[in-house]
Structure 1
């Protein structure tokens, strides 16, 4: 009489564990610290702002789902997605230019059943595409290859700048530039580009929109229009300065709660945080961002292929650019261009984009460990 084979019952943890192992421990710890600070700042800035805090928590959860899905994908799949994502993104940008939705004088959105902003997709699609481009030319790079990469970068940047959306076009430009630079762009070429850029400033100034010129003039001297274009920067600088060394305390920021800081849950959340937690709080936040960027660069340095190395390096430097530009504009040292503070500012699209980027970093790190074992 044959004994029946009874399958061994697996503990639920054994079933779940492989799916949770995709997360990188150090990155998760850093994100936990950053999102704890983010939740505190958002609760203070948005508690009297409808359901803003609840929506912020929802955006965090959505970004973690996106992060998990991206971390599950092997880098080979990311490579296969590079060309389709880039092509779809550029196609949608062309569609936006032809028959997009206009809001507040800008044509940035398109209705495809739901209203979307295609330029956000390019923040990830451009570095993916360029990393794929250089992977295919590994070991045989010539100046023509860098020229080809520059064309691939300029097309979406020009389409986004035309909408007009200066902030997003600069972020997409930066994301692509980092890939080209990390692929081995010569310092002589960089110097030449810098000098050419400086020489072309008068031409750039002539093609800027009036509101963009006003932003630059306001940056130089915000007091020229203290109740208009300069209001954001002046109030933000007052908030940061009044925080002092140790801050006024949680919920005790007068600039925010007396409605002096515009967009206090989105672009100018850093001003709210600075007023309440002061220089000490700012240094702690900067340290967390340095940990995040350091971990990303470590993943990039140890990545096994050209594609993963370039992609991880670019994704990490995008996080740096987001943080640097946002803190710079809120502090009055850069023009106001509408760039969120990563994993801090309110915004569903930004959280999804950032979650996707960090998920890709985790995928690259996990793949390296699997190759080693």
Structure 2
């Protein structure tokens, strides 16, 4: 229902709030363009994530300190972006998209290899990062900027341009190869297009078109990606090989029961049966040590963040703000849904981290940067686009 309201709200014309005879004194949160409830929930999630990471990393304090440092950088980025007006974001959208696209090309030419993939750029002595993570923000930013200047719902020409804007970077990311990130970047852009007011008939046509392209997609998948899909359908077909990850993760979650085995007491994780336990499969550590109750608490926290984000997005006073904010929070939901789904065995493993809980630097910065943009759109909602 929230998504339907957000889509319909795009057709409202922006209206300036009535002037009041008595000027209301702004709170510190309004002056800082921050939403205190959303900020509080994000901080709680990050603190909880550090606790789970301490256990998942084998009580490695260095990993926790490194992640905490990245969180601090990410929070600073979020606070800075919250001060930028939507008008500034709209003006910078082509520059951010172009720079991200050039970095993806640089990855293709001179990127660093790691675990069989070429995904990273290194600035010697400064930082090593994944440009594909930046595209998760640059993509919806650019598509929202394009559609906000067009008549809605979008026409065929507008959708064709969106297809080009989406297709080029997604193909570059898929070549790295990084199927999980390419799907997230695509979903971020698709949410913008859907929120622009596409008819259900056109959406049905796109779904049929996507389904008809599945055989072509299958033929172009790498061997290990095909194996992931086959393993998802039948993990027991290769229990000591490709099925090991999903079998161990579901075993860990199931062994936790209702209340869990206790913090630092998980056998699957502490005895290193569970692979990638501090990154993609960290939710299995959560389920084993804190049980069904602990998982539900974290999932409810995620749901509260998504609900608050949709409420903030629906309150934006211009088309660009609603499109961009709606895409950011819905993509965050996809992050959570895909990670929990793949670890629990209801989705294929595609390498998507659990937001603000899994170990990772660029991902954390990108996620909190998105929330900074969301708070900017809400905090500057009385400023109409020039």
Where structure 2 has 5 or more consecutive residues not aligned to the other structure, the ranges are: 1-26
Q: Provide the aligned C-alpha RMSD in A.
A: 1.9
Alpha-carbon contact 2:152-2:197 (below 8 Å) kept: no
Where structure 1 has 5 or more consecutive residues not aligned to the other structure, the ranges are: 1-15
Q: CA deviation at 1:47?
A: 4.7
Q: CA deviation at 1:98?
A: 2.9
Match of 2:113 among 95, 102, 121: 102
Cα distance in 2 between the residues matched to 1:24 and 1:184: 27
The aligned counterpart of 2:43 is 32
- Bigger radius of gyration among the two: 1
Match of 2:147 among 131, 134, 139: 134
Q: Assess, with a 3 A threshold, how the Cα gap between structure 1 residues 36 and 101 changes in structure 2: closer, same or farther.
A: closer
Q: Assess, with a 3 A threshold, how the Cα gap between structure 1 residues 324 and 142 changes in structure 2: closer, same or farther.
A: same
Alpha-carbon contact 1:175-1:318 (below 8 Å) kept: yes
The aligned counterpart of 2:344 is 331
Cα distance in 2 between the residues matched to 1:149 and 1:298: 26
The aligned counterpart of 2:104 is 93
- Asked if 1:84 is matched to 2:75, the reply is no
Q: CA deviation at 1:94?
A: 2.0
Give secondary structure in 1 for the equivalent of 2:277.
Answer: coil
Cα distance in 1 between the residues matched to 2:67 and 2:90: 31
- TM normalised by structure 1 equals 0.91
The aligned counterpart of 1:13 is none
The aligned counterpart of 2:53 is 42
Q: CA deviation at 1:343?
A: 1.1
Alpha-carbon contact 1:67-1:355 (below 8 Å) kept: yes
Q: Assess, with a 3 A threshold, how the Cα gap between structure 1 residues 229 and 191 changes in structure 2: closer, same or farther.
A: same
Cα distance in 1 between the residues matched to 2:284 and 2:264: 13
- Asked if 1:59 is matched to 2:62, the reply is no
Q: CA deviation at 1:150?
A: 1.7
- Asked if 1:274 is matched to 2:292, the reply is no
Cα distance in 2 between the residues matched to 1:347 and 1:226: 28
Match of 1:251 among 241, 246, 264: 264
- Alignment deviations for residues 241-274 of structure 1 (CA, whole Å, 9 cap, x no partner): 0111111111111111111111111111100001
Give secondary structure in 1 for the equivalent of 2:380.
Answer: helix
Q: Assess, with a 3 A threshold, how the Cα gap between structure 1 residues 111 and 29 changes in structure 2: closer, same or farther.
A: closer
The aligned counterpart of 1:263 is 276
Q: CA deviation at 1:19?
A: 9.4
- Asked if 1:193 is matched to 2:222, the reply is no
- Asked if 1:155 is matched to 2:161, the reply is no
Match of 2:329 among 316, 326, 329: 316
Q: CA deviation at 1:39?
A: 2.3
- Asked if 1:217 is matched to 2:249, the reply is no
Q: CA deviation at 1:50?
A: 5.7
Cα distance in 1 between the residues matched to 2:320 and 2:263: 44
Q: Assess, with a 3 A threshold, how the Cα gap between structure 1 residues 95 and 183 changes in structure 2: closer, same or farther.
A: same
- Alignment deviations for residues 217-243 of structure 1 (CA, whole Å, 9 cap, x no partner): 111111111111111111000000011
- Alignment deviations for residues 332-366 of structure 1 (CA, whole Å, 9 cap, x no partner): 11111111111111101111001100111111111
